[in-house]
Amino acid sequence: MFTAYFDASGSPDEGKAIVVAGYVSTGEQWLEFDREWQSLLEQETVSQFHMRDFAHSLREFAEWKGDEPKTFS
Mean pLDDT in consecutive groups of 10 residues from the start of the chain, 73 residues? 87 83 94 94 91 89 82 55
Q: What is the residue extent of each domain of the chain?
A: 2-9+20-71
Q: What is the dihedral angle through the alpha carbons of 2, 11, 50, 20, rounded to the nearest 10 degrees?
A: 30
Condensed to tens digits (0 to 9), the pLDDT of residues 14-32 reads 788 888 999 999 999 999 9
pLDDT of residue 17: 84
* Rounded Cα–Cα distance for residues 24 and 51 (Å): 21
